Amino acid sequence: MSSAIRGLGAGQGETGVDTVPAYAPALGIVHIDGRDRGQLPRVIGGGPGQTAGTPMSSPTAAPTSPATAASHVDVLIVGAGLSGIGAARHLQKGHPGRSFALLEGRAASGGTWDLFRYPGIRSDSDLSTFAYDFKPWTGEKAIADGGDILAYIREAASETGVDQHIRYDHRVTSASFSTADARWTVRVQHAGEELELTCSWLFCASGYYRYDEGFSPTFQGAEDFAGEIIHPQLWPEDFDAEGKEIVVVGSGATAVTLVPALAKQGAHVTMLQRSPSYVLPLPSTDPIGDRFRKWFGDSRGHRLTRQKNIEQQRLLYAFCQKFPGQARKWIRGINKKFLPDHIDVDVHFNPKYDPWDQRLCAVPHGDLFRAFQKRQADIVTDGIERFTEKGILTASGKEIPADVIVTATGLNMLLFGGLELDVDGEPVQIPETLAYKGFMGSGVPNFSFAIGYTNSSWTLKIDLVCKYLNRVLTQMDEGGYAIAVPVNDDAHVETRPLMDFKAGYVLRALDKMPKQGPSAPWHLAMSYREDEKHLRKAKVDDGVLRFVRKGAPLPTSHPAPAISAAPPEDAPAPTDAGTEAVAA
Ligand SMILES: Cc1cc2nc3c(=O)[nH]c(=O)nc-3n(C[C@H](O)[C@H](O)[C@H](O)COP(=O)(O)OP(=O)(O)OC[C@H]3O[C@@H](n4cnc5c(N)ncnc54)[C@H](O)[C@@H]3O)c2cc1C
């Protein structure tokens, strides 16, 4: 009998950050309080595909493209997600005279927060750090629902007028830089046609994963399964969980979010994981942050809470990295306290890796543990032998019955929205570039990208990068330069993978990413405090970022040599089935 497979292979996979939640607030007061306080006021709608139980706001009318769409802009931003909209706002503030446009491949803004609609979708980060620095988060929840985050992003776009610059259904496919003209020619798919635009600066804010395809390992026997198989990426609008036996395959942030959310909707859920992740209960509110806002107002309160939480995240990360044994013990102790007796902490919550070497999942007010306590959910740690007509046969021979199988099995990484770049006709080989301050590539002129942190809130990095770009543009204005390009003078520079993070989705894509060098500015800092030094305080004219006048030749930059620093010893093979996968 064939199964109804929805989402498999067609949607994106599970989240990278999904398995890499940026860590959250008020760690000193880990507790389960069971409260679920109010929502943010809704401003702009959530778009189609609203999932029951997910408080997405109602859709706005289909967004329209600006009436007068210029064919040349000073800065062209690819993507109208959190990063693209933030980049546009920073540019608008720093360089009000510069023209800009955002090209968005989809029909709606918000990126990740518009796309993912599974029950319970929420941030892992606290919103004081995940929100922009220019727009205070005023919601009561510190770990917020997806719909509220989407509303916040769209509110940021509409109240600043950035939304007027978004051109929807414009998918950028390639871009060519001409040194003589000091501009990019960008090719775009729109309404079945190819358009060409030009810009002086290209900013790629296209996220980090494929929107058209997720990561799904092949499960033997999937076609025999009589029930429904759903990928969280393409959650069916009309899905009714009530009374169903559901198996969620995975152990990352999406799995730990889905299990209690589906249980709350009346299903009995089994979380089936190949190997455990670290899971920490956290309060979903931030009482100290609330007090800061009350005492100092929204803006100052936001700034103070942000600083407080940046410091907490830094301390937690540093503690885990420096004292992995103690961190492991500490997390185990918390898990043990919140788990019911029938769930063995040393079987199901005892990861093979050290805390923060891979995933560390937050569960707001311990909802996952509460679902276990109420026996609405169960957990099995085992491999998958095959799907059967009635459920899943595990490697150890146990059959788990299922009406529905949810494959929370990972994403496929895609950098720069799949754009093909060339400079004066020479194709840019991305793996031969070195990442400059984590936002430009060696030898690629007037091009920047938005890649946030994997161990902390994405937006913290994006805010820093966008402000730094403003300083680069100011330097160009003041010196009368047309081009800025990071140049690698050392043909034998020691290179390392861009990310030392050992998650499967990162390892699968390492050979397609830029590399990093041994030290600044070629080093990708995964630390806000470190980046503050290099992006906020450091001189823009550092001798590595070269400024060129129009008509002058482009300085030669050596390609990054093959990776010379050894990969981490315990890194899984790049073919690993993914951070959330429980492959056979
Ligand atoms: C379920 C989930 C939960 C997450 N939770 C957190 C969290 O709590 N904290 C955290 O820090 N991070 C989290 N992340 C990571 C999250 O993706 C980022 O934090 C952030 O939303 C990324 O924003 P972005 O704008 O850079 O990318 P995206 O949100 O991916 O937006 C990119 C946009 O670019 C568009 N685009 C891509 N390619 C092209 C192209 N070629 N042409 C035109 N347009 C293009 C896309 O359509 C999309 O709209 C989460 C991710 C997921 C999937």
What is the rounded average pLDDT of the residues 403-430? 94
The verdict on residue 184 lying in a domain is: yes
User: Ligand 1 mean position to 250 CA, how many Å?
Assistant: 21
Asked if residue 453 lies in contact with residue 443, where contact means CB atoms within 8 angstroms, the answer is: no
Tens-digit pLDDT profile for residues 506-516:
777 777 889 99
Between CA 362 and CA 144 the distance in angstroms is 12
For the CA of 207, the closest atom of ligand 1 is: 27
Tell me, yes or no, whether 152 and 221 share the same domain. no
Range of the domain at 75: 66-211+414-548
The verdict on residue 554 lying in a domain is: no
The verdict on residue 41 lying in a domain is: no
Tell me, yes or no, whether 143 and 161 share the same domain. yes
What is the rounded average pLDDT of the residues 436-446? 97
Using DSSP, state whether 257 is helix, strand or coil. Answer: helix
Tell me, yes or no, whether 426 and 402 share the same domain. no
DSSP codes, 21-45: PPP-S-GGG----------PPP-S-
Which residues have CB under 6 Å of ligand 1? 15, 17-18, 21-22, 78-84, 103-106, 111-112, 116, 123-125, 130, 171-172, 205-207, 211, 417-419, 450, 452, 457-458
Tens-digit pLDDT profile for residues 152-183:
999 999 999 999 999 999 999 999 999 999 99
| Protein residue with its CA nearest to atom 52 in ligand 1 | 15
pLDDT above 70: percentage of residues in the chain: 84
Tell me, yes or no, whether 531 and 541 share the same domain. yes
Tell me what the pLDDT averaged over the chain comes to.
Answer: 85
Is residue 108 very low, low, confident or very high in pLDDT (cuts 50, 70, 90)? very high
Q: How confident is the model at residue 509, as a pLDDT?
A: 77
Question: Which residues are CB-neighbours of 114 under 8 A, at least 6 positions away?
Answer: 46, 47, 106, 108, 150
pLDDT above 90: percentage of residues in the chain: 70
- Choosing from 356, 387, 412, the residue where a domain stops is 412
User: Ligand 1 mean position to 26 CA, how many Å?
Assistant: 25
Closest C-alpha to 435, from 555, 511, 564, 523: 523
Tell me, yes or no, whether 128 and 103 share the same domain. yes
Task: Choose which residue among 17, 54, 284 to substitute to test ligand 1 binding: the one with the highest number of ligand atoms within 8 A of its C-beta.
Answer: 17
Q: Is the pLDDT of residue 255 over 70?
A: yes
For the CA of 417, the closest atom of ligand 1 is: 38
User: Ligand 1 mean position to 125 CA, how many Å?
Assistant: 14
What are the DSSP E strand ranges found in 114-244? Answer: 166-167, 171-178, 183-190, 193-204, 228-230
The verdict on residue 112 lying in a domain is: yes
Number of domains in the chain: 2
For the CA of 121, the closest atom of ligand 1 is: 1
The verdict on residue 48 lying in a domain is: no
Q: How confident is the model at residue 217, as a pLDDT?
A: 85
Asked if residue 100 lies in contact with residue 76, where contact means CB atoms within 8 angstroms, the answer is: yes
What is the rounded average pLDDT of the residues 92-112? 98
Question: Which residues are CB-neighbours of 126 under 8 A, at least 6 positions away?
Answer: 24, 25, 26, 142, 143, 286, 289, 309, 457
- Choosing from 378, 412, 446, the residue where a domain stops is 412
For the CA of 451, the closest atom of ligand 1 is: 26
Q: Which of 281-295, 377-391, 430-444, 557-571 has the lowest mean pLDDT?
A: 557-571
Q: How confident is the model at residue 354, as a pLDDT?
A: 87
Q: How confident is the model at residue 70, as a pLDDT?
A: 80
User: Strands 100-103 and 72-78, how do they pair?
Assistant: parallel
Q: Which of 11-20, 199-208, 389-398, 466-475 has the lowest mean pLDDT?
A: 11-20
Q: Which of 77-81, 286-290, 395-399 has the lowest mean pLDDT?
A: 286-290
Tell me, yes or no, whether 423 and 542 share the same domain. yes
User: Ligand 1 mean position to 553 CA, how many Å?
Assistant: 36
User: Ligand 1 mean position to 22 CA, how many Å?
Assistant: 14
Is residue 62 very low, low, confident or very high in pLDDT (cuts 50, 70, 90)? very low
Is residue 49 very low, low, confident or very high in pLDDT (cuts 50, 70, 90)? very low
Q: Is the pLDDT of residue 503 over 90?
A: no
Tell me, yes or no, whether 533 and 509 share the same domain. yes
Tell me, yes or no, whether 240 and 264 share the same domain. yes
Q: Is the pLDDT of residue 30 over 90?
A: no
The verdict on residue 167 lying in a domain is: yes
| Protein residue with its CA nearest to atom 49 in ligand 1 | 111
Tens-digit pLDDT profile for residues 293-320:
999 999 999 999 999 999 988 888 889 8
- Choosing from 412, 439, 462, the residue where a domain stops is 412
The verdict on residue 163 lying in a domain is: yes
Between CA 443 and CA 431 the distance in angstroms is 12
Q: Which two tokens stand for residue 505?
A: 């989705």
Closest C-alpha to 30, from 270, 269, 363: 363
Tell me, yes or no, whether 384 and 292 share the same domain. yes
Tell me, yes or no, whether 275 and 401 share the same domain. yes
What is the rounded average pLDDT of the residues 486-492? 95
Q: Is the pLDDT of residue 335 over 80?
A: yes
Tell me, yes or no, whether 541 and 463 share the same domain. yes
Is 524 or 429 the better-scoring residue by pLDDT?
429
Q: List the CATH number of the domain containing 261.
A: 3.50.50.60
The verdict on residue 45 lying in a domain is: no
Between CA 434 and CA 437 the distance in angstroms is 9
Phi and psi at residue 38, in whole multiples of 5°? -60, 175
Neighbours of 53 (CB within 10 A): 16
For the CA of 123, the closest atom of ligand 1 is: 8
Phi and psi at residue 484, in whole multiples of 5°? -125, 130
Is residue 502 very low, low, confident or very high in pLDDT (cuts 50, 70, 90)? low
Task: Choose which residue among 132, 153, 206, 457 to substitute to test ligand 1 binding: the one with the highest number of ligand atoms within 8 A of its C-beta.
Answer: 206
Tell me, yes or no, whether 237 and 331 share the same domain. yes
